[in-house]
Amino acid sequence: MLTCRDVAERADQVIDVVQDVGPWDRIQFRLHLLICPNCRRFVSQFEQTVRIVGGRSWLEHHSDAEEQIVEKFRAISVAK
């Protein structure tokens, strides 16, 4: 069974259909989401962010943006 940390680390791989993720990995990911409301919320927010940003192609064209986004999330998590 995947942990919450595993789900957070693999979210982009499972959600991004460009990456080839095996069926067993997808099943484990979805099973964890069934039992964990926090991860469901995280994945939902992650999917919304990907939709808003327009996917990875936007980040590839704005390489510094990814680091800025990560830093803002870190600042938010430290503030809590």
Quick: pLDDT tens for 18-50.
Answer: 567 788 888 999 999 999 999 999 999 988 887
Inter-CA distances, 79 with 2, 49, 61, 72, 74, Å:
28, 21, 30, 11, 9
Angle at 76 between CA 12 and CA 66, to 5 degrees: 40
Residue type, 50: V
**Model's pTM, two decimal places?**
0.62
Rounded-to-integer distance, Cα 7 and Cα 54, Å: 22
Which pLDDT does position 42 carry in this prediction? Answer: 93
Rounded-to-integer distance, Cα 77 and Cα 71, Å: 10
The residue that leads in pLDDT, 39 or 17, is 39
